[in-house]
Structure 1
Amino acid sequence: MTADEPPALELPGLVRDKVAEGRAKARATRARKQAEAEITDHLPVARVLLDLQPAHLDRDFDYAVPASMAGDATPGTRVKVRFAGQDVDGFVLARLEASDHEGRLSPLKRVVSPEPVLVPTVAGLAAALAERYAGTRSDVLRLAVPPRHAAVEKEASADPGQPVAPDPVTVAGAWAGHEPAEAFLRHLGSGGSPRAVWHAAAGTDWALLLAHVVATTLASGRGAVVCVPDGKDVARLSAALDAVLGAGQHATLTADSGPAARYRSFLAISRGAVRVAIGTRAAAFAPVRDLGLVAIWDDGDDMLAEPRAPYPHARETLLLRAEREGAAALVGGFARTVEADQLLRSGWAQEIAPTRALARQRVQVNIAGSSDIDLDRDPLTRASRVPREVHAAIRAALPDGPVLVQTPRRGYAAALACERCRTPARCAVCTGPLRLTGQTTPPACGWCGTEAAQWACPVCAHRGLRAPVLGDARTAEELGRTFPGVRVLTSSGERVLSTVPAGPAIVVATPGAEPVAAEGYAAVVLLDTWLLLGRPDLRTEEEALRRWSDAIALAGPGGRAVVVGDPAHPALQALVRWDQPGFARRESAQRAEAHLPPASRLATISGDPGALDDALTLLAAPASAEVLGPVPVGEDQWRAVVRVPRPEGPALSRALLELQRLRSARKLDPVRVEVDPPTL
């Protein structure tokens, strides 16, 4: 060391140790990263479906599989990858020996979970549905695979043991009177895949009959998926399955059950611990092993239509599964949709229906004022909301059990009008409709809540109000005064009753909120039928008949139903004869003449005027396509309808899917595309 050279820096021992420790950790980190970057020799390529929104990115991407992840990155597992500078979720679809990509593959970043939650059958179904509804596979998989719950994954799925074997005599007795159900069950039990559309007789315990069908499927060594409209129906079907199969033999999939419970049920199905899945529309994707049966109850209920993109219907999802996996199919209900009728007319399915003797003995349906004798007794029958015949029916039925009264509107007085000139009563602040919430409360706006105690008609200055439409609360109040001492219950809105006990009672309910009576209702009354028939919709009459049929079907054996409405209306006539299939056939014929579904396939394109015009310009629709509209459907929102003959439906879906990809790649303003919307 020279005089100009600085002295060597002497580090204290503790600092030297820290430096050495840091260098050791750095070497260990480099070694670990080098080991993680080492690509496995066995099936080194993972084909991944990424969770990406843009439609033009709905394709498979290949990634290299590090040796450290080779054991966990199996088909169906969740992974994280690097894409466009961001961490993106995805599912491994397959492991391959080589990739078609010529460049260097990026490695998987990590395996989120080694649990295979995406089975190949569901992955294929997602691809088929995405093409059918002009959507993306990632959107379908958000509906099919519930979010991960790490704590639940660590739990072992319980083994429920062997299900109770079905008793052929009991099964045949439950289905007696529905023909040819015996042949359907025999074919199903022998391992076959029959397809049927089932029209149930009024008063049928549909949940019990479905449970027997599921038991027959299990006895053949296969699994089953059953979809119902809502949680109330799920609870009823679950109780029936417990009674027929034994506890723990099925799993329920509903959004209301919560993330942990839903994921636990999903894993029990995916792992094969249970082979029966029931639930609402999301259960249609349940990864049941060795699927032998798909069934859906009350397929016309709008709750079975998915409100999220790409808007698939549970019925179409299940029928597509049955076609792809070779499973049996059963579409059931007290009413029949035109789509179910199309399955029969095309020969895809066979009919199961009650005999005329069974249909007659279950319930008797009368329309108030339909005969000359009724009109002689009460000349105002057809003008009265609750005619004398209804009061007589309720009075006669109460000693035998509860009476159900269905009214289409909930609340007290759903709308108000001037008593003199019938001008609708409107709020002076926001022009919203005025409503009554109780017998002693002043009218208030249904939009902003402002009270209008001093309201006067702007046309004639009259201060009197009338209620052209009464809600369930007002109806219950009036019936309570008419039948003093009788318990009156309401079921609507957020307060829906699931069951009511036996004994005298009047239950006032809105459509879809009718509780189940322990021994069936002694009588069922349908009020304000004109209100359901007044909706401006393609399915108005079909939907009204379905809601009426579901209510009357809650009557006990030998019960009576009284309907207040137009005796000449075709839907009410079909209800009296319990001939919902005949009504569906006539409805299908009328729609075919008007080139409406199911004789054709419709798609709606909605958006702001500029985006919609661009979309219609870019759409390469089939030559047979008709474009109807555009028409305004809201503030700055317009909609066009594209219609093609039914055989051209797949071509229209492909054209719409290509339109979505093109607009996504060009980053144009989005439009909403909906294929076969449930309503127009």
Structure 2
Amino acid sequence: MTDASIARVLIDSPLPQLDRLFDYAIPEKLRADAKAGVRVKVPLRTLGRLVEGWIVELTDTVDYAGKLSELETVISPFPVLSPEVWKLARTAADRAAGNAADVLRLGIPKRHARAEKTLPDAAVNAFEPSGEPTAVAFFDEGAITTLVTQRKRAALTAPTGVTEVAPGVWVGRWAVTMVELAAQALARGTTAILATPDFRDQEQLEAAAAALLPADRVLRLDARQSVQKRYGNFLRTHDGTPYVIIGNRSAVYAPAANLRLIVVWDDGDSLYSENLSPYIHTRDAALLRQEQQQCALVFLSHSRSTEVQRLVEVGWLVALSPGGLRTPKVIPSANQVSQDRLAAIARIPSAAWKAARAGLDEGPVLVQVARPGYAPRLACADCAHTARCTTCAGPLAQRSASSTPSCVWCGALAVKWRCRECDGTKLRMVGSGSARTADELGRAFPGYRVIVADGDHQVLTVPNKPSLVIATRGAEPVAEGGYRAVLLLDGAGMLARESLRVAEDCLRWWSNAIALAADGAPTVIVGVGGALATSLVTWRQEDFAQTELADRRELRFPPAVRVATLTGKVELIDDAIRQLPVAPLDVLGPVDLPDGLVRTIVRFDYKDGAAVAEQLKALVVTATTVARRSRKPGTPRAQQPPPGLRVHLDDLEPFVDL
């Protein structure tokens, strides 16, 4: 029973004008259940209906002279919105000029009534710290102890190689490092959050946790779980018991009042970028949470991102590297096909063919390619122009040797195809996908098993037997005992992608693949030279990150500066730029877009971020309110005026074609 008579509620709505707390009177019948953090339904006059929200706080005073509307109902008596998560969501939304409700939807799963009924009592989960934890292998014990006990921030270079955590269970050493760090927090009676970008990495991390941590201390939170399981685990995080929470990008929003440690694996992965407004990156959310709860924070990777490199250079993160490991053996090779008959069949240089042949005498060999399918791109055999779909003009590709070419965009089959440029009707393959490479290597190495691992063939582990594993970037399985050789093909093709982060991404993809090799096993990288090859050969990826960041500072590209992408009518964009509270470093645009809209990029210093975000959020609220008032009831959505102003902070997409 609470004595407070007023609930301050955050409405669960994407409308920016509703991104504030609304006061509601608590009726007598709801006093027992109307607690801070619970889900409720409330009337909203502006929409003329009931809406859902969360009670953020309770009070007895309000700056309103009229009669308050009352709470309609308490959806669930469980307080799903904890104070630390509310503070994080509010701060993250303000930094990105977005809505707190949009952030909370990432961290608070949908309700499941049965999960609430089967939730165990907190007393059942009583936990006693187990004393001094096992040291984190390959790292200085004193540095790790200082990091965890004094709640510092660090960028750790992950140890390479794979290790057996249980009979027949092999994972990357990076996963063991994460679990050993989490054990440091758990031994002190506190919680750790471990975030990975995709399910492949999460499977390795869970396997390591299952082998090294008490089973009842590990909680998984991710979108692949059933609604009941995810919601049930989410509710358990509120009981005050120390846990190791494992999940994807939304895991950093998990409730944990006694949080000691956050570890983010491979923060440069694009899967950490949220595709929905307010587009908050997991790395930024982790940094904000570390500041608010004063926990330890670790960014662990084989290849450091430029964002983490900037934080290291400004002294916000301390850099730690492992010791006691052999540097991976990386051999650059020219992209010239060998005169050797078998190597020519596989279309690989002789150095790569010899490394694969020697590796197959001992066990599995990994071959990384750029794209899945058989032929990632098709061209007209007569004029060499890219073959385009006759329906949507998308590029054509071929998924297997016997399949009919189809459109990459709309999926339409290219039946009776005709070239738009020369009226030709014959197609030729350009490049090799995973399936075609598997066919060619199978002919070059007869008698060996060929395994394809890509988006259509999800393979997580391979046995310690001679085999060729053809994998697309990021889909490489873990081999028992490690790969006896690694071939990195299509290097030049990967670098030809138009993106600000192309070199950084390629270095990360290649480093992660090299790290799967057995200790001392060779890696041959084809068609790559210069600074990228040097950083791999010396295994000093931080040197490349330092150079890349210096170049971006000179060009004023992220993350050297912050950027805001403004999209809307040209008059709104011009007005928004005039009202900025600080003088921007520069303004790029406007660039014309469909529907009479334009896009403008504003670049500004980090120190001006809070002021710029606050002003842009206010302008978005004003523009959205005006746009909604101008809409005519009953008019189809397609005929309604476009949104007034859209803002995307720290957006890299406009820099793709630079």
TM-score norm. by structure 2 comes to: 0.89
CA–CA distance in structure 1, aligned partners of residues 391 and 583 of structure 2: 51
Quote the offset at 1:289 in angstroms.
2.6
Q: Is this contact kept in 2: 1:442–1:453, CA < 8 A?
A: no
Confirm or deny that 1:367 pairs with 2:329.
no
Quote the offset at 1:155 in angstroms.
1.4
Amino acid at match of 2:395: P
Confirm or deny that 1:201 pairs with 2:159.
yes
Q: Is this contact kept in 1: 2:11–2:21, CA < 8 A?
A: yes
| Paired residue secondary structure (2:321) | strand
Match of 2:143 among 180, 184, 201: 184
Confirm or deny that 1:250 pairs with 2:212.
no
Residue 97 of structure 2 aligns with which residue? 134
| Within-5 A mapping of 1:522-541 | 522-541=484-503
The 1:232/1:157 distance shift into structure 2, 3 A limit, reads farther
Confirm or deny that 1:329 pairs with 2:321.
no
Listed one character per residue, the Cα deviations across residues 103-151 of structure 1 (whole Å, up to 9, x for unaligned) are: 2222211111110111111111111011101001111111121111111
| Paired residue secondary structure (1:309) | coil
Confirm or deny that 1:240 pairs with 2:195.
no
Q: Is this contact kept in 2: 1:242–1:248, CA < 8 A?
A: no
Residue 124 of structure 1 aligns with which residue? 87
Amino acid at match of 1:253: L
CA–CA distance in structure 2, aligned partners of residues 501 and 296 of structure 1: 29
Match of 1:223 among 167, 186, 191: 191
CA–CA distance in structure 2, aligned partners of residues 329 and 154 of structure 1: 35
| Paired residue secondary structure (2:528) | coil
Q: Is this contact kept in 2: 1:385–1:527, CA < 8 A?
A: no
Match of 2:433 among 471, 496, 499: 471
Residue 675 of structure 1 aligns with which residue? 649
Amino acid at match of 2:586: E
CA–CA distance in structure 1, aligned partners of residues 20 and 419 of structure 2: 63
Residue 66 of structure 2 aligns with which residue? 103
Q: Is this contact kept in 2: 1:294–1:319, CA < 8 A?
A: no
| Paired residue secondary structure (2:376) | strand
Listed one character per residue, the Cα deviations across residues 347-391 of structure 1 (whole Å, up to 9, x for unaligned) are: 111101134x73xx2420011139xxx999889999995112211
Amino acid at match of 2:364: P
| Pairs aligned (count) | 623
Residue 341 of structure 1 aligns with which residue? 309
The 1:498/1:627 distance shift into structure 2, 3 A limit, reads same
Confirm or deny that 1:213 pairs with 2:177.
no
Residue 650 of structure 1 aligns with which residue? 610
The 1:73/1:452 distance shift into structure 2, 3 A limit, reads closer
Residue 24 of structure 1 aligns with which residue? none
Match of 1:63 among 11, 24, 33: 24
The 1:154/1:440 distance shift into structure 2, 3 A limit, reads closer
Q: Is this contact kept in 2: 1:368–1:381, CA < 8 A?
A: no
The 1:153/1:458 distance shift into structure 2, 3 A limit, reads same
CA–CA distance in structure 2, aligned partners of residues 524 and 230 of structure 1: 22
Listed one character per residue, the Cα deviations across residues 37-73 of structure 1 (whole Å, up to 9, x for unaligned) are: xxx9922111111223321221111111122221211
Quote the offset at 1:634 in angstroms.
6.1
Quote the offset at 1:435 in angstroms.
3.1
Match of 1:661 among 610, 614, 621: 621
Q: Is this contact kept in 2: 1:224–1:276, CA < 8 A?
A: yes
The 1:632/1:579 distance shift into structure 2, 3 A limit, reads farther
Quote the offset at 1:271 in angstroms.
2.1
CA–CA distance in structure 2, aligned partners of residues 312 and 428 of structure 1: 38
The 1:120/1:343 distance shift into structure 2, 3 A limit, reads same
Residue 244 of structure 2 aligns with which residue? 276
Residue 44 of structure 2 aligns with which residue? 83
Quote the offset at 1:651 in angstroms.
1.8
The 1:378/1:241 distance shift into structure 2, 3 A limit, reads same
Residue 171 of structure 1 aligns with which residue? 135
Confirm or deny that 1:414 pairs with 2:388.
no
Amino acid at match of 1:550: N
Q: Is this contact kept in 1: 2:93–2:103, CA < 8 A?
A: yes
| Larger of the two Rg values belongs to structure | 1
CA–CA distance in structure 1, aligned partners of residues 401 and 131 of structure 2: 55
Q: Is this contact kept in 2: 1:134–1:656, CA < 8 A?
A: yes
Listed one character per residue, the Cα deviations across residues 291-344 of structure 1 (whole Å, up to 9, x for unaligned) are: 111110000001111111111111110110000111110001011111101111
| Paired residue secondary structure (2:216) | coil
CA–CA distance in structure 2, aligned partners of residues 45 and 429 of structure 1: 58
The 1:163/1:465 distance shift into structure 2, 3 A limit, reads farther
Q: Is this contact kept in 2: 1:157–1:267, CA < 8 A?
A: no
Match of 1:502 among 448, 464, 467: 464
Residue 557 of structure 2 aligns with which residue? 596
Quote the offset at 1:458 in angstroms.
5.0
Confirm or deny that 1:639 pairs with 2:613.
no
Q: Is this contact kept in 1: 2:219–2:246, CA < 8 A?
A: yes
Quote the offset at 1:618 in angstroms.
3.3
Match of 1:317 among 285, 298, 309: 285
Q: Is this contact kept in 1: 2:156–2:299, CA < 8 A?
A: yes
Runs of at least 5 residues in structure 1 that lack an aligned partner in the other structure: 1-39
Listed one character per residue, the Cα deviations across residues 640-679 of structure 1 (whole Å, up to 9, x for unaligned) are: 2111122212222112111111112323642432111244
| Paired residue secondary structure (1:400) | coil
Amino acid at match of 1:183: G
Identity %: 38
Q: Is this contact kept in 2: 1:403–1:524, CA < 8 A?
A: yes
The 1:382/1:163 distance shift into structure 2, 3 A limit, reads farther
The 1:634/1:448 distance shift into structure 2, 3 A limit, reads farther
Residue 106 of structure 2 aligns with which residue? 143
Quote the offset at 1:543 in angstroms.
0.8
Q: Is this contact kept in 2: 1:406–1:526, CA < 8 A?
A: yes
The 1:376/1:275 distance shift into structure 2, 3 A limit, reads closer
Quote the offset at 1:89 in angstroms.
1.1
Confirm or deny that 1:518 pairs with 2:477.
no
| Paired residue secondary structure (1:666) | helix
CA–CA distance in structure 1, aligned partners of residues 405 and 94 of structure 2: 51
Amino acid at match of 1:126: A
Quote the offset at 1:188 in angstroms.
4.4
Quote the offset at 1:102 in angstroms.
1.6
| Paired residue secondary structure (2:348) | coil
Q: Is this contact kept in 1: 2:84–2:257, CA < 8 A?
A: no
CA–CA distance in structure 1, aligned partners of residues 621 and 466 of structure 2: 61
CA–CA distance in structure 2, aligned partners of residues 143 and 57 of structure 1: 18
Confirm or deny that 1:51 pairs with 2:12.
yes
Residue 11 of structure 1 aligns with which residue? none
Amino acid at match of 2:355: A
Q: Which moved more, 1:451-460 or 1:95-104?
A: 451-460
CA–CA distance in structure 2, aligned partners of residues 153 and 48 of structure 1: 22
Amino acid at match of 1:365: V
CA–CA distance in structure 2, aligned partners of residues 398 and 164 of structure 1: 47
The 1:375/1:534 distance shift into structure 2, 3 A limit, reads closer
The 1:245/1:452 distance shift into structure 2, 3 A limit, reads same
| Within-5 A mapping of 1:389-400 | 389-400=351-362
Amino acid at match of 1:123: W
CA–CA distance in structure 2, aligned partners of residues 319 and 130 of structure 1: 14
The 1:194/1:167 distance shift into structure 2, 3 A limit, reads same
CA–CA distance in structure 2, aligned partners of residues 615 and 524 of structure 1: 50
